[in-house]
Amino acid sequence: MESQTYRTLPHSTLKAETTYHLPDESMPLHVNANSPAVDVMTDLRRISTVTVASDTLIDDANQKMIAHGVRTLIVVDERRHVIGIVTSTDILGEKSMQLTHQRGARHAEIQVGDVMTPSGRLEVTDLKIVLNSKVGDVLETLKRSRRQHALVVDDTNGARQMVVGIFSSTQIAHQLGLVPAPPETGHTFAEIETAIGL
């Protein structure tokens, strides 16, 4: 099999007062490294965005994830501006455990805002770049940034940036045909690379 080099997608930080795109629905089941990147993007123009407020208790946020079958929630303020994301790893992993020890609090008292990744630390890729990219490029980007998730934005409809998609290493692994990993761990990039022959 011929070896191919993939590139890191250009990215920037999420702008203030970014909103998110609302519905339309469908995603191919099986992909490979050379498939179009959009084939592994959760398209928020087609699938309803599952959101949460920053003052939501993390146990309630976890129940919302389970109910909607997702591992990531977009954290929004009262004006629907994206202020961060929270993942099942944030809620069930080390971050929440450290907070309970530091504060002497119970797990049930921790809020989403305590464990989320705030918007200023979220790297985003423009939809125009994604439309001309491959799954391998997305994997390389996630691997280099050491993140399990990445947001896709579009600002062609005026000055306001809008989140239109999410990349998830777990979703990509699923579409590559890897056996599902335990929810709190996900697949490693080494496992994903082995599965696609990189």
- Decide the pairing of beta strands 162-168 and 19-20: parallel
| Tokens, residue 173 | 């692994």
**Which residue has better confidence, 19 or 124?**
124
Q: What is the pLDDT of residues 41-68, one digit of tens each?
A: 988 888 888 999 999 999 999 999 999 8
The fraction of the chain above a pLDDT of 70, given in percent, is 83
| Average pLDDT score over residue span 75-99 | 90
| Tokens, residue 93 | 């992993």
| Beta bridge partners of residue 168, listed in sequence order | 149
| Tokens, residue 75 | 């954290």
**Which residue has better confidence, 146 or 84?**
84
| Tokens, residue 19 | 């909103």
| Average pLDDT score over residue span 117-143 | 92
Q: How far apart are CA 108 and CA 91, in angstroms?
A: 11
Q: What is the pLDDT of residues 133-183, one digit of tens each?
A: 999 999 999 888 888 889 999 987 667 889 999 998 888 888 888 755 444
pLDDT of residue 156: 77
| Helices (H) then strands (E): counts for the chain | 8, 10
Return the SS3 of 67: helix
Confidence of residue 187 (pLDDT cuts 50, 70, 90): low
